[in-house]
Amino acid sequence: MPALAARAGQLGTESAFEVLARAQALEAQGRDVLHLEIGEPDFPTPPHVVAAARRSLEAGETRYVQSAGVPALRSAIAAHVRQRHGVAVGPERVIVTAGAKPVLLFTILATVDPGDEVLLPDPGFPIYESAVRFAGGVPVPVPLRPENAFRMRAEDVAARSGPRARLLICNSPGNPTGSVIGEEDARKLVALAAERDMWLLSDEIYGRLAYGPAPSLFAQPGAEARTVLLDGFSKAHAMTGWRLGYGVVPPALVETFVRLMVNSVSCVPPFVQAAGLAALTGPQDHVDAMRAEFRRRRDFLTDALNAVPGLRCGVPDGAFYVFPDVRALGRPSAEVADRLLQEAGVAVLPGTCFGPGGEGHLRLSYAASPATLAAAVSQIGAWVRASRG
Ligand code: PLP
Tell me the pLDDT tens digit for each residue of 264-299: 999 999 999 999 999 999 999 999 999 999 999 999
Ligand 1 atom with least separation from CA of 175:
3
Q: Calculate the alpha carbon distances from 337 to 14, 127, 220, 293, 373 in Å.
A: 12, 20, 38, 26, 16
Query: What share of the chain has pLDDT > 90, as a percent?
Result: 93
The predicted-structure confidence for 333-350, as pLDDT tens digits, reads as follows: 999 999 999 999 999 999
Ligand 1 atom with least separation from CA of 240:
14
Handedness of CA 57, 61, 67, 69 (dihedral sign): negative
Cα 307 to middle of ligand 1, angstroms: 31
Largest alpha-carbon pair distance within the chain? 64
Do the domains 61-281 and 3-44+285-387 match in fold?
A: no
pLDDT of residue 14: 61
Architecture (CATH level 2) of domain 3-44+285-387: Alpha-Beta Complex (3.90)
Residue 248 confidence class, pLDDT cut points 50, 70, 90? very high
The predicted-structure confidence for 111-165, as pLDDT tens digits, reads as follows: 999 999 999 999 999 999 999 999 999 999 999 999 999 999 999 999 999 999 9
Ligand 1 atom with least separation from CA of 233:
15
Q: Strand 245-248 to strand 227-232: parallel, antiparallel, or no bridges (unpaired)?
A: antiparallel
For ligand 1, residues with CB inside 6 Å are 39, 99-101, 125, 171, 175, 203, 205, 232, 234, 240, 245
The predicted-structure confidence for 43-74, as pLDDT tens digits, reads as follows: 999 999 999 999 999 999 999 999 999 999 99
The predicted-structure confidence for 15-31, as pLDDT tens digits, reads as follows: 778 888 999 999 999 99
pLDDT of residue 220: 97
Q: Which residues of 269-296 are buried (b: 16+ CB within 10 A; e: fewer)?
A: bbbbbbbbbbbbeeeeebbeebbebbbe
pLDDT of residue 12: 54
Return mean pLDDT, the chain: 95
The partner residues of 214 in beta bridges, in order of sequence, read none
d(CA 308, CA 42): 26
Indicate whether 89 pLDDT > 60: yes
Cα pseudo-dihedral 125, 127, 131, 133, rounded to 10? 80
Cα 205 to middle of ligand 1, angstroms: 6
Ligand 1 atom with least separation from CA of 125:
3
Cα 216 to middle of ligand 1, angstroms: 17
Residue with CA nearest ligand 1 atom 8: 39
Cα 46 to middle of ligand 1, angstroms: 19
Please give the average per-residue pLDDT across 194-214, as a whole number.
Answer: 97
Cα 154 to middle of ligand 1, angstroms: 23
d(CA 111, CA 132): 11
Ligand 1 atom with least separation from CA of 40:
8
pTM, rounded to two decimals: 0.96
Please give the CATH topology (third level) of the domain spanning 61-281: Aspartate Aminotransferase; domain 2 (3.40.640)
All structural domains of the chain with their residue ranges: 3-44+285-387, 61-281
pLDDT of residue 6: 72
Residue with CA nearest ligand 1 atom 12: 100
